[in-house]
Structure 1
Amino acid sequence: MRGHITPQANARLATYSIFTQLAAAAYVVALIIAIVALAWAEYRRQIGYIELGDPKMVPFVIAGLAIIAGLVTFIVAMIAFLLWFHKAIANLHAVGLAGLRARPVWSGASFFVPVAQLFVPFLAMRELWNRSHGEDEYQSRTGVTQVAIWWMSFVTGSLLVFFVTGLGLFNLVSPVKFIAPSLLNLSLMLSGLVFWCVAAAGLVVILRAITLAQATLMDEKTVFA
């Protein structure tokens, strides 16, 4: 190693981590409220016709507000996470570790690039975890349970939610309708939201572990500098 992580860089990483964790916690709360409200709304729908102003509309309103809150907190969490992700990878490059494949800018941007978004962020996070915890270049591809659970939960939840949402939008604008039982659509949507909650919780675990590991890396480098 020829460089080091400065105390300022480590403090910035910790700040990004805290903001991401707080936003992720708010996001999970919003999703849990949405899950309960959607299940409640479906039950109310099943027991009778609902008119505007009817008390039975309450769970639909709560679900809508919770989904909006979830979207807002997701955006905040995503911004904070991308800042953290960029800084954490940049720290490894600053230390001068050999054989790093992940690049700060591309690893974050890959979340928004079709196809690449399915595997690049996962590979970058796995390398980030391993190298931050002192693994060498040849062990950087070693599987990490926490990272695998986070990514599989995020991808699975996204596929389920986007499928149900996309199907609904398609039926709305297309003369061809794909009809599925409402309970099936609801089950898929709720399952997707649950997977997203697991992903958010998993991300918090990863943030804490990597941020702490890089702080230790900085301490060790400071001692032997």
Structure 2
Amino acid sequence: MTIPRCELDPADRLKTVDLMLSRDRQEAVNRTRESLGKIPRNDLVERLLATQEEEKLKKKQEEEEKLRKKQEEGKTVEMLHNILQDLTDDEFKRFKWSLRDMSTIPWCKLDKADRPETVDLMRSCDRQEAVNRTRESLGEIPRNDLVELLTQEEENLRKKPVEEEKIRKKPAEEEKIRKKPVEEEEKLRKKRKAEDQQPVEIMETRLLSHVKIRCVLRWD
């Protein structure tokens, strides 16, 4: 990392951080870790490593959330398309008419749209709003069988992330359970070792005291 000495010498803590971050971020982190190890401040090295792990975990969770939303959107489009395919032509016209007051969908486009085009137009609004308006419109036609189908599909979409999260956490939980007896055994072993050493330490202390007393008596 090349930071001019004339800038670094007079810099306080905040300015030093700014100078380091003005270069490559990862290099700044690596050099900080190396420098802390030389001081040495291993406690701060461990804290820095923990922070990096938290950042990696957060980034991974954000990427997983983006992927989940993308998959959810794809499932919703497929679900709406299948539902519209089950409508007769007359029911489909009434369905579109019930959407005429949606501000995000111009009626001039919706009026001429076929089923796939209608789904594409509904994608322009919020996903949940599209699902709710579809449910309301199906109830007005009425096609309560499709309302029930839509409700069930939505319930399945909500359950899926929870089930996936349980599956993802399961190996970590199993590993924790597996390690627990080993950790408890290690604690018990250390405790017994400490108890075994205690009489020896007492004996050494007494012996040392006895030697000191004898030395004092001999001196006298």
TM-score normalised according to structure 1 size: 0.31
Identify which of structures 1 and 2 has the higher relative contact order when contacts are C-alpha pairs closer than 8 Å and 6+ apart: 1
